[in-house]
Amino acid sequence: MRDETKTEREERLERADFRRRYCEEALSRNGFIYSGTGRGHRAGPARVTVEHESLDNGPIELPARRDLWNHSPDGFQWGYGGSGPAQLALAILAHHTADDGKATRLHQQFKRRAIATLELGASWTMTGADVQRHLEAIEAEAATQATREGA
């Protein structure tokens, strides 16, 4: 077996460091805080931001993720079951899970469960832990449904 070169060793350590940082970020996803402000439901522009409770960089605009699915060219909304809430559900799940496939698969259920139930026209805050609880409930419902269909 040959000795690794300095460059190969540096690359290996860089990959290991990236994996460690990625895992730490994934584990800290519950520390995110999502906030919506604006009048919502076609009464004007709504703004949704995300920040992490342990970082001092402040809130940033939540990307709409229209690259995954363009439900609403007009942006985010909440408090009902339409296209703006679907875009918001997709964006939150894509950010929270860092899994575009999972976000696309589950965003309609998340919209019905978490976004459509927010107060129409009111500002709101949702933690990463809240998002995770909704996801776990959605996945449990899906498992129960699959069990029923398989029986």
User: What tens digit of pLDDT does each residue of 71-87 get?
Assistant: 998 889 999 999 999 99
On whether residue 117 sits in a domain, the answer given is yes
On whether residue 13 sits in a domain, the answer given is no
- Residue 24: pLDDT band by 50, 70, 90 thresholds? low
The domain total for the chain is 1
pTM above 0.75, yes or no: yes
On whether residue 75 sits in a domain, the answer given is yes
Contact residues for 112 (Cβ-Cβ < 8 A; gap 6+): 81
On whether residue 92 sits in a domain, the answer given is yes
On whether residue 16 sits in a domain, the answer given is no
On whether residue 115 sits in a domain, the answer given is yes
Greater confidence, 69 or 30? 69
Residue 24 to residue 120: CA distance in whole angstroms: 35
**HEC per residue, the chain:** CCCCCHHHHHHHHHHHHHHHHHHHHHHCHHHEEEEEEECCCCCCCEEEEEEECCCCCCCEECCCCCCCCCCCCCCCCCCCCCHHHHHHHHHHHHHHHCCHHHHHHHHHHHHHHHHCCCCCCCCEEEEHHHHHHHHHHHHHHHHHHHHHHHC
On whether residue 22 sits in a domain, the answer given is no
On whether residue 10 sits in a domain, the answer given is no
Q: What is the mean pLDDT of residues 58-68?
A: 93
- Residue 27: pLDDT band by 50, 70, 90 thresholds? very low
pLDDT (0 to 100) of residue 13? 67
- Whether the predicted pLDDT of 113 surpasses 90: yes
> Which domain does 106 fall in, by range?
34-150
